[in-house]
Amino acid sequence: MTGLDVALAGLILGLGAVLQSAVGFGMPLISIPLLVLAGQPLPNALSLVLGAALVQTAYGSYVARLEVRWRRSAYLAAIQWVTLFAGVACMSLLVRSDPARVKQVVGLAVVLAVTAQWVFRPEPRERLAVGWGEAAAASAGFLAGAVGIGGPPLVLFALAHRWPPDEFRAFLWSQFLLVIPVLEAALVFRFGTPILAWFGLGVAMAPLVWVGSRLGIAVTRRWDRARLRLAALIVLYAIGLVSLIGPYLSG
C-alpha cells in the first residue's frame, strides 16, 4: 500500500466508526464496500476492518461487561464459528472471479442488508421462539465469512427482544468480539499469513476509529436519532447501488 492508500483506508475506517457510533450499526457496511471500490481485494479489506473492530469491540465489551450474558453470547458465537468457514470458502471462490463481480456481490449484500433493517421491524418481546437465535447466528457467520457483513441478522435478532439499550449494545459487542479472532484465523488459513499485515494495520488505526466514534457521539447530540438513521440508510443504499451497478455504467 502507498501512503495515499493508507490515508484513504484510515479515512474510510473513521467514517465507518462515525456511522457505527451515531446509529448503532454500519461500520462494515460502509467500510468494506468503500475499500473494495478503492481497489483493495475483499479479503484484505475484511482483515483491515476486523483489526480495527477488534479493538473497538474489546473496549465496548469491557465497558458493558456487567450486561453481557456470556453463556448466551458464547453459544451463538459458536454457531457462527461453524458457518463462517463455509462463508470464507465462498469468498475464496468469489475473489477468483472478475474484480467487477466482487464489487457487485458486495454491493448486493449491502443493499439487501440495508433493506432488511429498513423493512423488518420486529415487535420487541421478552423471548423468541426456539430456533430464531440459531438461525440469526448461522446466517451472520456465513455472511461475515463470505462478504464481511454479518451484523444485520444479529441486529434484527437483538431488536426483536425487549432489551434495555445497555444489554442491546453488550450483546452485539460480545458477539463481534468472540467471532473476530476466529474469522481472522479462517482468513489466514484460506489466504495465507500475509493477510495478518492488514489485520495489524487495522489495529494500528484504532485511534482513528476512536476519533470517529467520538464524532458520531457528538453528532447524535445535535441531530435527531431517527433522522440520523434515515440518512445513514440512504448513504448505505447509495454505496451499495454504486458497487452493484457501477461496473455496468463503466463499460
Please give the chain's pLDDT, 251 residues, in tens.
Answer: 677 888 888 888 888 887 776 666 668 888 898 898 888 899 999 999 999 888 888 877 887 788 888 888 899 999 999 999 999 999 999 988 888 888 888 888 888 887 877 777 767 777 777 788 899 999 999 999 999 888 888 888 888 888 887 788 788 888 988 999 999 999 999 999 999 999 999 999 988 888 877 777 677 667 666 676 677 777 777 877 888 786 666 55
With b for 16 or more beta-carbon neighbours within 10 A and e for fewer, the 55-81 pattern comes to bbbebbbeebeebbeeeebeebbebbb
Q: Closest by alpha carbon to 27, among 36, 17, 35?
A: 17
pTM for this prediction: 0.87
